[in-house]
Amino acid sequence: MSEPVYLDYAASTPVDPQVADAMDACLRDPDAMANAAATHWAGRAAAARAQPAREQVAQLIGARAGEIVWTSGATEADNLALVGAARFQQQRGRHIITALTEHPAILESCRSLQAEGFQVSYLSPNGAGLVEPESVAAALREDTVLVSLAHVNNELGVIHDIAAVGAICRTHGALLHVDAAQSAGRESIDVKAQQIDLLSLSAHKMYGPKGIGALFLDAERCRRVSPLLHGGGQERGLRPGTLPVHQVVGMGMAAELARARLASDPPAILALRRRLEAGLLALPDVQLNGSPEQRSCHIVNVRVGGVEGESLRLGLRRFALSSGSACAAESGEPSPVLRSLGIADHLALSSLRISLGRGSTAAEVDALVAAVDATSQRLRALAPA
């Protein structure tokens, strides 16, 4: 196999053909060309196109349609959830809890809030990369108003016990925000049962278009946050701007397909992940980063000893994979997530995040294992690290 192989589904997924068809039909519909906020017949037609999508996304996570706010993606949803909720709740308290292993959208939002006078507790993971519910409980203070924790970590793939954290936050009275960009369509999500107050989603992580995401706000617990943008009354005044109806339609269809395939996609991808792990971990000096059990179906993160990271990735250049979060890919620095696990910088730099999806095959998995074996042996022979 010599053709390029895509193994970076955690960074972005291809648009499902049914999603593309739904978006194309919307773009070609003359009745859907208007601004959905307009009150004339054309505006109502555009709004009618968008409304079912809100229900489709809500059904994926066990919410109600009126609890979904459209955003430009999970990054904006994370910012709106953290900054918006913290500012709105600041009369109650100015303390926030998150983890060192969170996505940059969370960490940078927290740093921005610190500049405004908020206090943030950054929890360290255990050796398996997990933030335990007991750690969250121990960090809670009387003035804690918000806890933010990813459902599935975007680099390690480990799954946090969100239901347990939700129960702790609910007892305390703090809001719980969950970044579900990696778990939607791969893990079961029920915002009511798991006691989640705010939840971020991204269409392009679940075979939808880029440029559209959503934020769930619990209608009883968190009816409002302070908006980050100003200029219109769209989305209940929480996120002004003309609604991109075709993108909304695309995200709705992606959510509907994800819900329909929740019983079939994860088991098939999990079988491939186990095949990949078995092959990689049988190679000399290759070790798994993160929990071997409490993990999502699609992400494998391994460190390859005795090689230089940039040379390793150059040798694997026909495989689209990464060494960490796509949002931090150009920094050239070791992954902060791997550093927080106590992994040495040289091993963090020679780590690979491989993520699988609907289009992945056993042949691609086997080809990657063979390439990692051949490349690592060649590099160790040339220049032992």
Catalytic residues: 327
**Residue 279, φ and ψ in degrees, nearest 5:** -70, -45
| Backbone dihedral angles phi then psi of residue 375, each to the nearest 5 degrees | -65, -45
50 to each of 53, 106, 245, 249, how far by Cα in Å? 6, 28, 6, 6
Closest CA to 18 of 336, 252, 278: 252
Q: 3-state DSSP call for residue 363? A: helix
Residue 313: enclosing H or E segment and its boundaries? helix 309-315
Would you say 337 and 155 are in contact if contact means Cβ atoms under 8 Å apart? yes
Euclidean distance between CA atoms 40 and 255, whole angstroms: 29
Pairing type for strands 299-304 and 286-288 reads antiparallel
Three-state secondary structure call for residue 177: strand
Give the residue from 322, 288, 285, 312 showing the smallest Cα distance to 371.
Answer: 312
Q: Residue 331 phi/psi, 5° resolution?
A: -75, -30
